Chains A and B, each alone.
Chain A
Amino acid sequence: MENLLNIFISSIFVDNMIFAYFLGMCAFLAISKTVRTSVGFGLVILFVLAVTVPLNYLIFNYLLKQGALVWISPDLAHVDLSFLSFIMFIAVIASLTQVVEMVVEKYAPVLYNELGIFLPLVAVQCAIMGGSLFMQEREYENILEVTVFAFGSGIGWLIAIVGISAIREKIRYSNIPAPLRGLGIAFIVTGLMAIGFMSFMGIRL
C-alpha cells in the first residue's frame, strides 16, 4: 500500500511528465491558452494514459517480453519480441485515440471544436507514448502499480496544463517585451514552474 502511494505521489510531483521530462510540450504550449479548454484536454490525456499504459503492460508482459509466450507452450521460452514494443504500443494508442475522438465528438461537441486538430494528435502525444515507455523501462512489479503510475502521471499532466493556462490568462494583461510575447514567455514561465516543482524532489513516503 505504502509503495503504491509512493508511486502515485512521485509520478504526480517528482517525476512530473512536463516539468521533469518535457513530455507533451507541443500540445501543452498550444492548448494552454484558456483554463476551460486545458481542463478538458488534460482529462482526455488522463483517460488515455490510464487506459493505454496498463493495456500495454499486459501486452508487453504476456506477448513481447522474453519468455512471455510460455503460457502458449514451453517451447517458446526463448522467444524475445521486445523489439516490437514500439510498434505495438503506438498501435494501441492510435486505436484508442480514434475511439476517444468519436466519443468526444458525440458527447462534448464544444470541447471537440475547441481542441480541433489536437484531439487526433493525442495519438502522437509524447506524454502518452512516454508513459508506456517508462512503464517498460522502470519494470513495475504488477498491474496495480502500473495503473497507479499511469493515473498519477495523468493527474500530474493535468495539474501542469491547468496551472500554466491560468498563468497565461493573467499574463495577457502584462507588458512583456514584444519579441518574448506568446511562445517565448510561455517557455520561461514553464521553466520557472518547473523550478517550483523541483522543491518536491526527494519526497519519499
Chain B
Amino acid sequence: MENKKQPLFSPANMKLLSKPLGRDNPITVQVLGVCSALAVTVQLQPAFVMAVSVIAVLAVSNLLVSLLRTTIPPRIRMIVQLMIVAFLVIIVDQILLAFAFEISRQLSIFVGLIITNCIVMGRLEAFAMTNKPWQSFLDGIGNATGYGVILLIVAFFRELLGSGTLWGFQVIPQAFYDAGYVNNGLFILPPMALILVGVMIWIHRLKNNELIEKN
C-alpha cells in the first residue's frame, strides 16, 4: 500500500506505459501475441483496427481482472480470465460487425483470436493478478500499444512494398511503374511478415545488447 498517495501519472506509472514500447516490447522481446499479429498486416487499415481492438480488450480486461484478483479462486482463474476476455471480445466483434463490416470481414477469424492472443493471457497472468487496477490498466494500454506499433510497422512495409499503397492510397507514382518498377508480390504473402519481424528483432537487439541470447 505504499504507493497509495502516488499521483495517477507518477513517473513509475508512466514507465508502465513506455517500457513495453521499447525494451519490453511484447512481440520482439516477450514473444507474446505473434499468433494473430502477422496475418492482419497486409494493409495498414486492418492492422490499425486490430491494434485498436487489442488495446481496448487488453486495457479493460486487465482492469477487470485486477479488480477481481482477490476474489478469483486460484485453481479456476484461467477459466475466469478467459470468460472475461471472451466477453469483451464479443463486444468488440459485434461493434466491428455493426460499424466496420468490410474490415471485420478482412480480419475474419482474427478478431475472435484476440481471446487466445498470448499477450492478453500473458499480461493478465503476469501483471493484473498481482497489481492494482490503475497500474494494470496502464500496463494493458502500454503492452497493447507496443503490440500495435509492431503491427503498424510491419503493415507499413508490407503495404508499401507489396502493393505500392498506404492506407489504400497510391503513394508510389505511376511514373515509377512506367519506368519499370514492379510491386514485390512476396510482401503480400505470409512468409514475408515472419521475415520482417525477424529483421525487426535483429535491429532491436543491435540497439539493446543485453537482450542478445546465448544461442
Contact = CB atoms under 8 A, between A and B. Distances in A.
- Interface on chain A toward B: helix, strand, loop, or mixed SS? helix
B90 A83 contact: yes
Contacts of B31: 26, 29-30, 183
Contact of A187 (B39, B190, B195): B195
A22 B35 contact: yes
A172 B71 CA distance: 46
A190 interface: yes
Contacts of B214: 181-182
B202 A180 contact: yes
A21 B89 contact: no
Interface stretch (A66-74, A106-114, A126-134): A126-134
Interface in A163-205: 172, 176-188, 190-192, 194-195, 198
Contacts of B121: 121, 124
Given A137-B108, A181-B214, A191-B194, A125 B202 contact: no
Interface of B: 28, 31-39, 78-79, 82-83, 86-87, 89-90, 93-94, 108-109, 112-113, 115-118, 121, 189-195, 197-199, 201-203, 205-206, 209, 212-215
Contacts of A123: 78, 82
Interface of A: 19-26, 29-30, 83-84, 86-87, 90-91, 94-95, 120-121, 123-130, 133-134, 137, 172, 176-188, 190-192, 194-195, 198
Contact of A22 (B39, B79, B209): B39
A182 B215 contact: yes
